[in-house]
Chains A and B, each alone.
Chain A
Amino acid sequence: MSGEAGAVVFSCPEAVRWVEDADRVLVVDDRSGETHTLRGAEAAVWGWLTLAYPYPKLVQLLAALLVLSSADAEQRLVAILQDWRAAGLLQMLEPPHG
């Protein structure tokens, strides 16, 4: 469950379920009954995450999608992940100690 030393692992709670529609990704949190509609870059990131793309690849793809520098894309990606964590769609796992 823990990630590599010095790393933070984001994962999805079991109660979160999703479906890909023609123009969006719908994510439902069974615990709260909340529905989250993801479009555009957010939908793309979610799709890449479900394909288990590693972090560096996510940055690369997002930079290409939004025509951003790597640094800007990374900042955007981290913001998306943090927003999802705040919304309960992602949880942060404890990093290893020591």
Chain B
Amino acid sequence: MANLVVAGACNLKCVYCFAGDHMRALKDSAAPAFIALEAFEARLDFLDRSGIDEIRLIGGEPTLHPHFPELIRRARRRGKHIVVFSHGLLSARALACLEALSPDECTVLVNTNATRFPDGPKEEEQTRRRATLRRLGPRALLGFTIYRTDFRLDFLLPLVIETGCRKSIRLGLAQPCLSGSNVHLHPKQYPVVGRKIAAFARRAAGAGVKLEFDCGFVRCMFSETDLAALREAGTDLGWRCNPILDVDLSGQALHCFPLADKLQAPLTDSVDAASLRTALIAQAQPYRLAGIYKECSTCPFKAGGECMGGCLAGTLRRFRPATIRVVVSADTLVTAGHASSVALAG
């Protein structure tokens, strides 16, 4: 799996966006806002030599690419299943090109709470998104990013039924950029969020809709009762945090957007996804002992590898620089039998 950034631009302003820092940095560097077709072909070559049959297009908003239909055409020519991560407010042209693909050829993950408004989507956006979803039908998979504890998911169930999209909802937790510049959930809020998700999973199961979890969920955010309910509801559970492989416009493979500045490896003409993933895992390794909570260090689920300990960006934000300064008299070092240290210092 690898996500390919094809657009560094987005026409919405989700407050929880974790790609914002990286996109702003690219913009400041005068890099092009959209992938060139030649570079896109190189990305397709990368997928081919990596043995990946699926192409996952991300941004910014990937459908804003001025040659979006051409990207789709080229990807299909290589036999790739298309996955598009979109805010769902598509242009007529982008929508038409995706509609022309069968549900077996195309998945559009629609972030249903993407918006240009700081307080959440307005009715005009939801109306337009609904219209898009009706046209996409079974090509569409609904997504929702949880970034505050007063979230509501119930509007998604009639949306699934009404639009004929896939009977699955992908939930994401708003994770922090390393800078913390985006709105994100604090791990202290996870148990509250977990209870609400479990309650919703029961209602969704009644409508024949299953939930799936994006990365960064942790096992301890759910009680055993809620976990049982989630399993009974057929939820695709996972306590994951692994290199996504977000390949950005400059040809860097990022562990993930939140860690864009910290963990990255260059995409060369010979490297494949497996070797990039290995390199990024190695870069992340020093921090993997820790988790998002202090208690991750004594957690049997983390020790046993069942849970990764939450989002690595969240974990890294717990680390602090060590501003240590202690003055020891030279005499003390000598007395303590460390005269060589004084000699080195002198």
Residues of A within 8 A of B (CB): 3-4, 6-12, 14, 16-24, 26-30, 33-35, 37, 46, 49-50, 52, 54-55, 58, 74-75, 78-79, 81-82, 85, 89-90, 92, 94-95
A19 contacts B319, CB within 8 Å? yes
From B77-85, B147-155, B202-210, B291-299, give the one contacting chain A: B291-299
* The one of B287, B290, B320, B328 that contacts A78, using a Cβ cutoff of 8 Å: B328
State in angstroms the CA–CA spacing of A15 and B241 once bound together: 24
Across the interface, name the chain B residue whose C-beta is closest to A92: B345
Say whether chain A's binding surface is mostly helix, strand, loop, or mixed: mixed
Q: Which of the four size classes fits the interface of chain B?
A: 35 or more
A95 contacts B328, CB within 8 Å? no
State in angstroms the CA–CA spacing of A18 and B164 once bound together: 50
State in angstroms the CA–CA spacing of A5 and B325 once bound together: 16
User: Binary interface profile of B, 290-312, with partner A (CB < 8 Å = 1, else 0)?
Assistant: 10001111100000000000000
From B24-32, B118-126, B335-343, give the one contacting chain A: B335-343
A92 contacts B344, CB within 8 Å? yes
Q: Which of B321, B326, B344 gathers most chain A CB within 10 Å?
A: B326
State in angstroms the CA–CA spacing of A55 and B337 once bound together: 17
Q: Which residues of B contact A16 (CB under 8 A)?
A: 321-322
Tell me the minimal C-beta distance from A6 to chain B in angstroms.
5
A95 contacts B337, CB within 8 Å? no
Q: Which residues of B contact A14 (CB under 8 A)?
A: 321
B345 contacts A95, CB within 8 Å? yes
Q: Which residues of B contact A89 (CB under 8 A)?
A: 322
Give 12 A-B contacts (CB < 8 Å), ordered by A residue: A3-B327, A6-B329, A14-B321, A16-B321, A21-B290, A21-B296, A26-B297, A33-B283, A34-B286, A52-B325, A78-B333, A79-B336
Tell me the minimal C-beta distance from B105 to chain A in angstroms.
42
Q: Is B324 in contact with chain A by the CB < 8 A criterion?
A: yes
Q: Which residues of B contact A90 (CB under 8 A)?
A: 324
Across the interface, name the chain B residue whose C-beta is closest to A76: B336
Q: Is B270 in contact with chain A by the CB < 8 A criterion?
A: no
Q: Which residues of A contact B128 (CB under 8 A)?
A: none
Whether A92 touches B341, Cβ cut-off 8 Å, given contacts A20-B294, A35-B286, A78-B328, is yes
B286 contacts A12, CB within 8 Å? no
A9 contacts B325, CB within 8 Å? yes
Q: Is B225 in contact with chain A by the CB < 8 A criterion?
A: no
State in angstroms the CA–CA spacing of A96 and B77 once bound together: 70
Tell me the minimal C-beta distance from B86 to chain A in angstroms.
36
Whether A81 touches B298, Cβ cut-off 8 Å, given contacts A8-B345, A26-B290, A50-B322, is no
Q: A74-B336, A82-B341 are in contact. List 14 more A-B contacts (CB 8 A).
A: A6-B330, A7-B330, A8-B330, A8-B333, A11-B324, A18-B319, A26-B289, A28-B286, A33-B282, A35-B287, A55-B327, A75-B337, A78-B336, A79-B336
State in angstroms the CA–CA spacing of A74 and B344 once bound together: 20
A94 contacts B290, CB within 8 Å? no
Tell me the minimal C-beta distance from A58 to chain B in angstroms.
7
B332 contacts A74, CB within 8 Å? yes
Q: Is B346 in contact with chain A by the CB < 8 A criterion?
A: yes
